[in-house]
A and B are shown apart, each in its own frame.
Chain A
Amino acid sequence: MLCEICNKNQASIHIQEIVKGQKHSLHICSSCAEKKGLSEMALQGINIAEILYKISTNVSSGQDIPDLDFADASPDEKEEVFSGASCEACGWNTDKFNKTGRLGCAKCYAAFKDILKEALKNMHKGTMHVGKRPRGPGAPGSDAPMLEIMNLQRLLDEHVQREEYEQAAKVRDRLKALREQAGEAKP
């Protein structure tokens, strides 16, 4: 695929962003990227709309894109993929997340899953919730027993480690009952 800016070099950087269900993509060569001031770092929090806007205004006004020199572009650059994620539900994007450190809505956790995965590992003691669950309308029905089983398994291990056998036995019985219940529920 040729670079969408110079139409000359092989495109080696592919940027994709989905905003409110609409997919925008841009394929450019590393030379044009550099000329546009897009380092790898900058691409992490890229605003594709702005780039597309800049390119389209340059083209539609009939001007040449200035300051581009394609002479030294290498044709066999390593392919790199940058994905500027955004949340379909609320429009939050990587840029906003990087700037504020916050997410825009509950669904952002799915939209930014890849970025969050590493970050959560560094922030917390674990990557899986083992605490309480909502009881009312927010309660996730079918997942509930599975989580409790995990929780209890952990508690059981702790009791055994501390040689608290009486408490361990109680937890074991509860676990057994839950596992049977979960087994029955499955088809």
Chain B
Amino acid sequence: MSAANPLDALLGNPVSWLADKGPDEDIAISSRIRLARNLADLPFPINADEAKARQVMAAVGAAVNRLQVVDTPLEFEINALPALDRAFLLERRLVSKEFCEDGPGRMLVVGKREDTGVMVNEEDHLRVQAMCSGFALPELWDKISAMDDKLSSELPFAFDPELGYLTSCPTNVGTGMRASVMLHLPALALNGQINAAIQGVNKLGLTVRGLFGEGSDCTGHLYQISNQSTLGESEEQIVQRLCTIIRQIINHEKNAREKLLSTRREFLLDNIGRAYGLLRYAYTLSSNEAINSLSSLRLGVDMGMFAAVDISMVNELFVLTQPAHLQKHAKKQLESAERDALRAEVVRDKLKTSGHGG
């Protein structure tokens, strides 16, 4: 094994699913689909010993590489990574919270562009994932389905004609698919309609979560909307249903933005202006302060108030200002106060170079 940390290969990279241009990028930050798959005849990870788990890891690792399921794959054995590196991968949304804990045979294979990857021995043997910027679920489904076809040409997946793909948790059985879109909904939050919108979405059988998935809160007005049911509908039907509802939410947010601008202009501009001031000139920024101010800045950019500020840069700052990213940037462990200072510095630098279009 080489001495260089393979994670460094990711550190300098822009995160493609945040930095690229995507459809409806003013409101939809990114789209993501993951498929749960298991190898027939081997126990699920929760019931597997080290030897069986490593058998899965070897089989999946070999297939992913040989079949070129992801571009320029990088492999990380989770148990071998220090906690900081695991948190770094979590902040880039390449792994789940659960996957960051020690577990037999846990391995992440991720493409260098970070838009495709496979978690091995998470809750299921394989969690295949694909991500992209903006709102593009049908295209993403085509992409991940092709990855799945490649894998299934070699790996014998556990499948039942009645129940579909068999998964460790029965909530994923059937398609094994979870499709989600990350939405930025500040105007619905500012005018107090967000809770009603979330309740409506829940009633339609969809789930709403925060930036970092299960159990995270919705700071920065970032909401992940995903399907709940995986059995009884085809993948295309699930994607279609999600698209219809998400399109409606995007339209609601657009209307709310227009309405705020026409009826509460001063309130809106003040909110955005103060956030910009804080980000541009502050010397310490807490994590929540940064996320909430970036959220307001993003709204300002979307509404054309900051011509010189690139929305991709704002998107990336949501991730670059997270604790593990700051510490990887500093190449050392930082106390909370040190992180707040570095966070402010990173944000100031980015905003300084991009200027201000007024």
On A, residues with C-beta under 8 Å from B are 90-92, 100-106, 109, 116, 119-120, 123-140, 143-144, 146-147, 151
Contacts and interface: CB of A to CB of B under 8 A. Distances in A.
B174 A129 contact: yes
B15 to A, nearest CB: 29
Top-8 shortest CB links A-B: A126-B232, A129-B164, A106-B158, A104-B47, A124-B231, A143-B161, A138-B157, A125-B232
Select the residue from A92, A102, A133 with max chain B CB neighbours within 10 A. A102
28 contacts: A92-B47, A102-B169, A103-B44, A103-B170, A105-B44, A105-B47, A106-B38, A106-B44, A106-B158, A109-B160, A116-B170, A119-B170, A120-B173, A123-B171, A124-B232, A126-B232, A126-B233, A127-B232, A129-B161, A130-B233, A131-B174, A132-B148, A133-B161, A136-B153, A138-B156, A138-B159, A140-B159, A140-B161
A135 B152 contact: yes
A90 to B, nearest CB: 5
B84 interface: no
Given A102-B44, A103-B44, A129-B163, A120 B170 contact: yes
Contact of A105 (B42, B153, B160, B231): B42
Q: Which of A90, A109, A134 has its CB near the most chain B CB atoms (within 10 A)?
A: A134
Interface in B260-276: none
Interface in B148-188: 148-149, 152-166, 168-171, 173-175, 177
Contacts of A106: 38, 40-41, 44, 158, 160, 166
A55 to B, nearest CB: 28
Contact of A131 (B38, B160, B164, B169): B164
Interface residues of B, number: 45
B235 interface: yes
B161 A90 contact: no
B145 A132 contact: yes
Nearest to A155: B234
B115 interface: no
A109 B174 CA distance: 12
Given A129-B165, A137-B152, A140-B161, 11 more contacts: A101-B169, A102-B44, A105-B43, A106-B38, A109-B163, A125-B233, A128-B231, A129-B160, A129-B161, A129-B163, A129-B174
Contact of B168 (A103, A120, A134): A103
B238 to A, nearest CB: 8
A102 B168 contact: yes
Nearest to B42: A105
A124 B230 CA distance: 6
B315 to A, nearest CB: 32
B170 A90 contact: no
Contacts of B159: 133-134, 138-140
Interface in B200-234: 205, 228-234
B58 interface: no
B235 A132 contact: yes
Given A103-B44, A126-B233, A135 B153 contact: yes
Contacts of B177: 131
Contacts of B169: 101-103
Contacts of A126: 229, 231-233
B233 A104 contact: no
A138 B152 contact: yes
A138 B40 CA distance: 8
A153 to B, nearest CB: 12
B339 to A, nearest CB: 36
B11 interface: no
Contacts of B174: 124, 129, 131
Contacts of B233: 125-126, 130-131
Contact of A128 (B156, B162, B165): B162
A90 B165 CA distance: 18
A172 B41 CA distance: 38
B243 to A, nearest CB: 15
A118 B264 CA distance: 51
B234 A132 contact: yes
B330 interface: no
Interface in B229-267: 229-235, 237
A151 to B, nearest CB: 6
Nearest to B148: A132
A134 B159 CA distance: 8
Contacts of B234: 130-132, 151
Contact of A127 (B153, B156, B231): B231
Nearest to B175: A131
B91 interface: no
Contacts of A134: 152, 156-157, 159, 165
A140 B168 CA distance: 20
A138 B158 CA distance: 7
B255 to A, nearest CB: 27
